[in-house]
Amino acid sequence: MRIPTEQPKATEHIDLMIEMISELIKKGFAYENNKHVYFEVKKFDEYGQLSNKKLEELIAGSRIEISDNKKSSEDFVLWKPSSENEPSWESPWGKGRPGWHLECSAMSKKFLGNEFDIHGGGIDLIFPHHENEIAQSRCANDTKVFANYWLHNAFITMSNEKMAKSQGNILKIKDFRDKVSGQVLRLALISAHYKQPLDWNDKLLDDCQNTIDKWYNVYLPSSKALDDEIIQPLYDDINTPGYIANLHKLYDKANNGNDEDKKIFNTACNFIGLLQETKEEWLNFKKGKVDISETEIENKIDLRNKARADKNYKEADNIRDYLLDKGVLIEDKDGKTIWKFK
């Protein structure tokens, strides 16, 4: 598993956000009123470019807000007082907290610079979140560009319902990691184009698992130059399904062909983060997944305890190893044996 180089926390960068707000006020893009600070949208000519919205439409379409702190309804908050049960920080505008768009502008500046290449996010964040990030960053940093490319992904659905915290159907990668191989997850996630919704279900994971399993038949780790023709779909707005289609063709060739074909296939898989485990690691992972019912596990543990009571330690160890082989870890604790999948 590869960990991100940086995993910054917003609460550790409040000082940078305050700095950015001060800069925006100094440059005339933001104003303070009654302990609130707002970004004055009409001061930034290019506001709305990312989401293709016109300022007049935003003003006309915005709900009338019960706030006489703002000059205009489309202005968005950079700093506001916290209510009693909310966290707060000291600032030149009183105790409070930053507006939620600001953390991205402040932390991207620190870790990536005033301009950077790729900004990702879900399609629901284009407006207002990303639009506001651009406004804050470009005005504070005096740049023509914030991010060079925006990659907005469609949602993952479960049984065709949007995955959302409020729906209670959130899947977390960490819940999968013990059960599903990382490369199966990867293949499943890239099986749809990032702009297309992806429906997540057991069949998808089974299919991907079977595909990877089949591909390991021609496993031959290598590093070859790949023809442009193979990579072409990725140049086309990261068309991952197109690339996977090429992998299937290369597999067929490798399966009927020579080592050279296998090497090309393996390199092409590695290129997109697949087949990076050795065949042995893959087989071990699969072995760990061999179905064993909880009843069988409990029965084996009973047999092991009986063997231990009879001082037949060899038999007890054999049972422990058998379970370990099935991916089950057992632990003796307070006179009881507990188990878990490793």
Residues that bind Zn ion (CB under 5 A): 104
Residue closer to Zn ion (CB basis): 125 or 208: 125
Residue closer to Zn ion (CB basis): 104 or 218: 104
Measured CA to CA in angstroms, residue 44 lies from 55, 76, 99 at distances of 10, 13, 18
Give the nearest distance from C-beta 308 to Zn ion in angstroms.
56
Give the nearest distance from C-beta 189 to Zn ion in angstroms.
21
Give the nearest distance from C-beta 332 to Zn ion in angstroms.
48
Cα separation, 151 vs 142, whole angstroms? 23
The answer to whether 135 and 127 are in contact (CB under 8 A) is no
Cα separation, 129 vs 115, whole angstroms? 17
Residue closer to Zn ion (CB basis): 126 or 154: 126
Cα separation, 235 vs 213, whole angstroms? 27
Which strand (E) or helix (H) includes residue 340?
strand 336-341
Residue closer to Zn ion (CB basis): 104 or 139: 104
Residue closer to Zn ion (CB basis): 104 or 247: 104
Cα separation, 31 vs 91, whole angstroms? 14
* Residue where the block lists tokens 């800069």: 23
Give the nearest distance from C-beta 58 to Zn ion in angstroms.
19
Amino acid at 256: N
* CA-CA-CA-CA torsion sign (297, 301, 304, 306): negative
Residue closer to Zn ion (CB basis): 75 or 103: 103
Residue closer to Zn ion (CB basis): 104 or 135: 104
Cα separation, 340 vs 297, whole angstroms? 10
Residue closest to Zn ion (Cβ): 104
Alpha helices in the chain (DSSP H): 14-26, 55-61, 102-112, 131-141, 173-176, 182-189, 202-215, 228-235, 240-256, 259-271, 279-288, 294-309, 313-325
* Residue where the block lists tokens 């089974």: 206
